[in-house]
Amino acid sequence: MKILVTGAAGFIGMTTSLRLLARGDEVVGLDNLNDYYEVSLKENRLKRLTSHANFRFIKLDVGERAGMEALFASEKFDKVIHLAAQAGVRYSIQNPHAYIDSNLVGFTNVLEGCRHNAVQHLVYASSSSVYGGNTKMPFSEHDSVDHPISLYAATKKANELMAHTYSHLYGLPTTGLRFFTVYGPWGRPDMALFLFTRAILEGRPIDVFNHGNMQRDFTYVDDIVEGVIRVVDKTAAVNPQYDPISADPATSNAPYRVFNIGNNNPVQLLDFIAAIEDALGMKAEKRLLPLQDGDVPATYANTDLLNDWVGFVPGTTVQEGVGRFIAWYRDYYGI
């Protein structure tokens, strides 16, 4: 297949592209290489892709309407994996316009490109952050997600609504994946694992929010990508049992699906830090701080629907995953 991967220089985008290339797909990777975090890391991820004959890179912002229209019209993709977005919960409080431009305008451009060019299936990144103020655990796709507590979360919820509209109006099959705290080699420098590792190695204290009383459904990147690939290969379909009188948010009478994709096994933040300390052979100095605006104390994915749909069962423990990240980090930075 010929597949567009937006955000191909990103953490999940690079890993997904490598998997697609390994099985023989033609991949067109798109990224704007913005400076939200170190551009050199994105460029080095791209170097892992550009050595493949079946990969082509296009530097383009998904928010550029004319460029996106031309790209879709000329390439005629079979399927699209849309991972490009302005990421980060906390940054959305500081720079809201970046999220509107990328996550809303950019997603509209992707939807329009798929609609007008007979794309068979659009798979896009949503986020566990859509659960917002929900406190019922584990988070289920059957639950309402109408109370976001950050603009980032609101844009991801909006993406799901926009996708459903296009599935309903134009019969475009769409599947949204609510990612839960993805980590691993080549990960994002603004995420906890990267921040903690760097600080510990440099002898600086680490910021531990909510005084350490946090849980995250940490999910290893290879497990995530396995789920993404399986979902790409199983096109979203109408749910024949859908009942509009008691509507289920997870499915529809349009070719639309939304799934949690996580480890289904939340880990205490202090236990996660202990795994980092063990892998580094160093102890962290912890600076205990209150919960930050826009953040939630716990995430926990119910993944039964995704398991039923494509047989997704993550298999990497936090100890294994953190160990692989630390080994990559030491090699990449020569430490």
How many angstroms separate the first and last alpha carbons of the chain?
A: 40
Write out the chain's pLDDT in tens, 335 residues: 999 999 999 999 999 999 999 999 999 999 999 999 999 999 999 999 999 999 999 999 999 999 999 999 999 999 999 999 998 777 888 889 999 999 999 999 999 999 999 999 999 999 999 999 898 999 999 999 999 999 999 999 999 999 999 999 999 999 999 999 999 999 999 999 999 999 999 999 999 999 888 899 999 999 999 999 999 999 999 999 999 998 999 999 999 999 999 998 999 999 999 999 999 999 999 999 998 887 888 889 999 999 999 999 999 999 999 999 999 999 999 98
State which amino acid sits at residue 288: L
| Residue 185: cis peptide before it, omega within 30 degrees of 0 | no
Q: Which two tokens stand for residue 89?
A: 């919960």
Q: What are the percentages of helix, strand and coil residues in the chain, rounded to 5?
A: 45, 15, 40
Residues 215, 285: Cα–Cα separation, whole Å? 20
pLDDT number for residue 260: 97
Residues forming a β-bridge with 206: 286
Quote the pTM value: 0.95
Which among 91, 99, 124, 152 is annotated as catalytic?
152
Q: Which of 272, 135, 281 is nearest to 212 (CA)?
A: 272
Residue 298 pairs in a beta bridge with: 215
Residue 312 DSSP class: -
pLDDT score recorded for residue 94: 86
Active-site residue 152, yes or no?
yes
Record the tokens describing residue 6, joined without a space: 């937006």
- Scan for tokens 């109006």, then name that residue: 169
Alpha helices in the chain, H assignment, sequence order: 11-22, 39-50, 65-75, 91-94, 96-99, 106-116, 151-170, 192-201, 221-233, 269-280, 304-310, 318-333
Give dist(CA 152, CA 54) in Å, integer: 33
What is the spatial distance between Cα 225 and Cα 233, in angstroms, rounded to a whole number? Answer: 12
- Token pair for 258: 């939304």
Cα torsion 107, 111, 114, 116 to 10°: value is -130
